[in-house]
């Protein structure tokens, strides 16, 4: 029987390197949006904690670590990246598969902050936007989710169809920053 070949959201676009910075695609095994039902926030958080080891993050925060991270995505909405969402969570929250809807990228290297300063209008200084902080903001004309995943690294998500433009815009900014060093 024929088989459908899967493509990643940034297939053929990444990785990109400029100076000391790299942009790579991250492929979480699964991405699930979790939106707790009315009054179920604590129960949802507990179920997530029990199954995946991290609580539901509050606004502008991410919990967990590489491989199993929960990222705040908006009012009453969290993305769990990595593990399958535990089945019992569906009692407390609307779960929706988003594994194919977003391109997840990591911008890493000294200068990563400067790269994003050319694309996003928010304050991403390390003293303000610390590890585990996340924000919904814009990447030039696109909406994005950005999470600080390390001293010099950010995890960036944009919707899948924007992958080409997002990689293009990030690459230009990376080269521009690298050219100044």
Q: Which residues bind another protein (CB under 8 A)?
A: 1-9, 18, 33, 35, 37-38, 75-77, 93-94, 96-102, 114, 117-118, 120-123, 125, 127-128, 140-142, 159-166, 169, 172-173, 175-176, 178-180
Q: Which is nearer to another protein, 76 or 132 (CB)?
A: 76
Rounded Cα gap, residues 64 and 174, in angstroms: 28
Sign of CA dihedral 34, 35, 41, 43: negative
Sign of CA dihedral 80, 82, 64, 12: negative
Q: Which is nearer to another protein, 46 or 94 (CB)?
A: 94
Q: Which is nearer to another protein, 86 or 101 (CB)?
A: 101
> CB of residue 118 vs another protein: minimum separation in angstroms?
5
Q: Which is nearer to another protein, 52 or 124 (CB)?
A: 124
> CB of residue 176 vs another protein: minimum separation in angstroms?
6
Rounded Cα gap, residues 40 and 151, in angstroms: 34
Least Cα distance to 181 among 112, 95, 82, 116 occurs for 112
Q: How far apart are the first and last CA of the chain?
A: 54
With contact defined as beta carbons under 8 Å apart, do 60 and 135 qualify?
Answer: yes
Decide: residue 67, CB within 10 A, 0-12 exposed, 13-18 middle, 19+ buried: exposed
Q: Which is nearer to another protein, 18 or 62 (CB)?
A: 18
> CB of residue 12 vs another protein: minimum separation in angstroms?
9
> CB of residue 66 vs another protein: minimum separation in angstroms?
22
> CB of residue 121 vs another protein: minimum separation in angstroms?
5
């Amino acid at each position: 029987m024929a088989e459908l070949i899967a493509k990643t959201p940034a297939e053929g676009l990444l990785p990109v390197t400029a100076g000391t910075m790299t942009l790579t695609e991250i492929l979480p095994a699964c991405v699930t949006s979790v939106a707790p039902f009315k009054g179920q926030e604590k129960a949802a958080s507990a179920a997530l904690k029990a199954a995946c080891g991290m609580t539901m993050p509050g606004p502008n925060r991410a919990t967990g670590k590489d491989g199993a991270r929960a990222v705040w995505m908006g009012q009453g909405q969290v993305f769990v990246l990595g593990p399958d969402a535990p089945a019992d969570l569906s009692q407390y929250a609307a779960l929706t598969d988003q594994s194919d809807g977003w391109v997840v990228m990591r911008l890493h290297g000294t200068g990563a902050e400067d790269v994003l300063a050319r694309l996003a209008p928010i304050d991403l200084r390390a003293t303000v936007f610390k590890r585990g902080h996340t924000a919904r903001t814009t990447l030039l004309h696109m909406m994005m989710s950005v999470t600080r995943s390390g001293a010099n690294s950010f995890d960036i998500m944009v919707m899948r169809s924007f992958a080409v433009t997002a990689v293009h815009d990030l690459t230009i900014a990376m080269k521009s920053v690298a050219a100044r060093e």
